[in-house]
Structure 1
């Protein structure tokens, strides 16, 4: 999703589960079960948008399984595999001061503490130890390199300004 979007992706339907229309879901929320807090989903698949209502869901092993309203057989459920699950950003809970959702960071212009433009946050990835900003070059960048910058507030990430669409990092441009 772009930074101007009114919705954000919170997961993806990966496969069917059982014969009664249940679906396996990969959740991007933290904790994983957080995806079950949202009842009104929009499924986005191959450019199509489908409104969906979460009827029930639960943890199943290492993953999450859900039942959506109106989906009650395996064949119909299979047609939703691969769909992204989005919700309205207005439904997301407020975060404490200094914390941000990934979708808020995507699209921000990244500057070093010396005011050198490194590019724009394309997306983030989770590595286990910390999240990583994937910064893609823009026409204003000092070069055309893609950079992977650890998202470590106060250590590497010095400032985030959503109002100015900027993120300031203490990062050597040679990396």
Structure 2
């Protein structure tokens, strides 16, 4: 078996964000973007992009803390060392994620999809998704005029509003005016 240590991710995706330092012993808060929050600890190695270069970080301990987590990074011994990580995004290599079944996709696959209504009118491009109590919401940005950006929020209700998602061609069809 060959061990390959990645210096940087080849196909990075964001899976979380680092928050503020916690305590004086080098712990820091993190926010998981995975649907099951604790799943973030199933995807390693983690990478950060700091001062224009990639760095792999190794977690030696983690704990659930309130609704999120705190972590301790190997070789970090105090608050001043860990404070330099505040507000950095946590990346993983995309191939670390489980392979999906047909017609399944990850949220990051939907970003940058072009959205058309059923009359083939271009509505814009997906720039984000947000989780709502009732349903997820597509955030779509459209350039109506030269300097006029318009954001459209469309509930992500499969088959009722979102008719078709073609990840290969990056196209989503919706029932929307």
Is the aligned partner of 1:159 residue 2:164?
yes
**Contact map agreement 2:143 2:150 (CA 8 A) in 1:** no
Aligned counterparts, 1:71-110, within 5 A: 71-110=76-115
Counterpart pick for 2:122 among 110, 117, 123 = 117
Is the aligned partner of 1:66 residue 2:71?
yes
Moved beyond 4 Å, runs of 4+: 45-48
**Contact map agreement 1:108 1:166 (CA 8 A) in 2:** yes
Is the aligned partner of 1:171 residue 2:176?
yes
Equivalenced residues, count: 166
Relative to the length of structure 2, the TM-score reads 0.85
The alpha-carbon distance between structure 1 residues 45 and 152, as it changes in their structure 2 partners (threshold 3 A), is farther
Alpha-carbon shift at residue 47 of structure 1 (Å): 4.2
Relative to the length of structure 1, the TM-score reads 0.86
Structure 2 stretches lacking a partner, 5+ long: 1-9
Aligned counterparts, 1:28-67, within 5 A: 28-45=33-50, 47-67=52-72
**Contact map agreement 1:38 1:54 (CA 8 A) in 2:** no
1:61-87: per-residue Cα shift (whole Å, max 9, x none)? 211111112212111011101110011
User: In 1, Cα distance between the equivalents of 2:22 and 2:70?
Assistant: 7
Cα RMSD (Å) of the superposition? 2.1
**Contact map agreement 2:48 2:88 (CA 8 A) in 1:** yes
Alpha-carbon shift at residue 57 of structure 1 (Å): 1.4
User: In 2, Cα distance between the equivalents of 1:56 and 1:131?
Assistant: 32
